[in-house]
Amino acid sequence: MKKLLLLLFLLIPINITAESIDLAPNATSAIIIEASTGTVIYNKNEHEKLAPASMTKMMGLLLIMEQIEKGNLKWDEMVTASSNASSMGGSQIFLETGEQMTVEELVKGISIASGNDAMVAMAEKIAGTEEAFVELMNKKASELGLKNTNFKNCTGLDAENHYSSANDMAIIAKELVKHDKILEFSGTYEDYIREGTDKSFWLVNTNKLVRFYQGVDGLKTGYTSTAGYCLTATAKRNGMRLITVVMNEPDSTTRNNETTSMLDYGFNAYGMEQLLNKDNVLGKIKVDLGEKEYVEVVPKEDINILNNKTNDKRNVSYNISLNNVKAPIKVGDIVGKINVIENNKTIMTIDVTVKEDINKANIFISYLRNLKDIVSGNI
């Protein structure tokens, strides 16, 4: 592995959590994180196992988005509702057995109206049965390192041994908001499905903050008699995205008010410093057997540092480690790491990728390249 050391010293504030402030006094548990770094700004009983109600559907939506991005599912693909899906109680979009609806309409129904029937229809489309889909949900939870989550259904209806935590819900939300398309749905206050038919259905977002709080574009409400009133919210301002979770609130008004207080605190006390963006060229690396001998490398994602606006300053640096690379290679392939360092400790690691696809050199290019090396005495 090649080691390329670049030092960049920034004067940026130290991050601390609001340990002495109870921003959600009526919630059993709560958390605020910054989405790009995962930094915890505020927490309260964040690892306590509680019923998550319909916030459960965030994991289902994450799996749907991954299937779409892998090409296994298309937005205009038709899904047929089973009798099982159409019989779901609770919040629903009133699917009828045998009714066909596009993936996009069903995701809209899940994201805006929290449709249990829509969620089960999508689960069956992807995995065959809801039970098999729940296995995928729990597998994904394990991959994300969630220690206090176990799903028994995909809807969030009360069930024995169905639980999660504010921390784990925030991590799921952090992964979900990486898929920008989902925010187009969860950030919509009202819309229609079956539009243009005699069964047109008006969707109104269960998350009222989408309409009443600047920057909120998601993410998922929840309520059952066991879970109480829950909400995972996300908002973006001035280049910073926050994710908040409250669980087991006494009513929807308190849930919204305390979420608002958490978002206000986060935006007032913190801001983002961009260390690198994903278009910054970090240098070039040699591509063995490539049609091009060298390729520029870039961060796979933006690298941001969260600043507490009131605290002392600190020094941050980063170094880059690059791998040996062999063609073919594509944009998105990992060719190294960027380690962000503070006080001699790595506080963040980001993947490095190539700026363009490099195909394998054909025989003619390889011959000319070898001939050039022979003439120049390199071999």
- Active site residue ranges: 54, 57, 114
| CA–CA dist 120, 86 (Å, integer) | 9
Q: Which residues pair with 203 in a beta bridge?
A: 191
Report cis status (omega within 30 of 0) of the bond before 328.
Answer: yes
Rounded to whole angstroms, the Cα distance separating 375 from 199 reads 76
Q: Which long-range contacts (CB under 8 A, 24 or more apart) does 69-74 make?
A: 69/179, 73/103, 73/125, 73/126, 74/103
CA distance 134 to 154: 6
How many CA atoms does the CB half-sphere of 277 hold within 13 Å?
Answer: 5
Mention every residue, 6+ apart, whose C-beta is less than 8 A from residue 229: 221, 222, 223, 248, 249, 250, 251, 252, 254, 255
| DSSP-derived 3-state class of residue 304 | strand
Distance CA(340)–CA(15), nearest Å, equals: 15
**Residue (of 140, 158, 126) closest to 52 by Cα position:** 158
Number of residues in the chain: 379
Per-position b or e across 120-137, b if 16+ CB within 10 A of its CB:
bbbbbbbbeebeebbebb
Partners of 326 in the β-ladder: 288
Convert 121-171 into a string of H (helix), E (strand) and C (coil): HHHHHHHCCHHHHHHHHHHHHHHCCCCCCECCCCCCCCCCCCEECHHHHHH
Q: Which residue has the tokens 């930094």?
A: 39
Which single residue is written with the structure tokens 């269960």? 206
116: Cβ contacts below 8 Å, ≥ 6 apart? 54, 88, 89, 90, 91, 92, 155, 157
